[in-house]
Structures are given as structure tokens and as C-alpha cells.
Amino acid sequence: MPFPETLPSKDHKTMQTIGAKQAKDRFGDLLRSVQREPISILRNGQPAAVLVSPDDYARMGGTASACAGSWRKSAARRVPTG
């Protein structure tokens, strides 16, 4: 089921968007829709994340291990010191 909002992308195509609460409430629909196209998730009206299918992610050169390393580095920067 498509989501009602769209957000222009850099290549002038539109990307479907969904609010974070709606994404939580409709997660199953979201997982099915993302198999057809990426979906932008908004928090407080601002893009917070883009959900892509595993195939799209692989085409972008991503791997689960590379992503996990990035998350660890990001989390380490947010941990308060001292």
C-alpha cells in the first residue's frame, strides 16, 4: 500500500515518505512497500532515515558488516566522556 506523502529526490523523482509514528504503526506495510522503492521516514517533519530493500542496499555497495562498523563509530561519538 503506498504512503500518501512524497518528497522530491535529487534526481527529480519522488520518494514516498512516512512519519515516524505512522512507520511504527504500519511497519508490515512499510516492509512490503520498500521492496518496490526506498521510503523516507520523517521525524518532526524532517528526513530522519531512508529505508531501502536489501537488494537496493547491495547495489549501493553496502554490506551489513560495513554498516555495523559505521553504527559502532557513530554510537561511540555519542557516548559522554568524563
Assigned CATH topology for domain 1-51: YefM-like fold (3.40.1620)
**Confidence band for 30, pLDDT divided at 50, 70 and 90:** very high
**Nearest 5 degrees, angle CA 20-CA 25-CA 31?**
85
Q: Where are the domains of the chain?
A: 1-51, 53-82
At a CB cut-off of 8 Å and minimum separation 6, what does 45 contact?
none
Query: Which position has the higher pLDDT, 4 or 73?
Result: 73
Residue 51: what pLDDT?
Answer: 92
Write out pLDDT tens, residues 33-81: 999 999 999 999 899 999 999 988 888 887 766 565 565 566 566 655 5
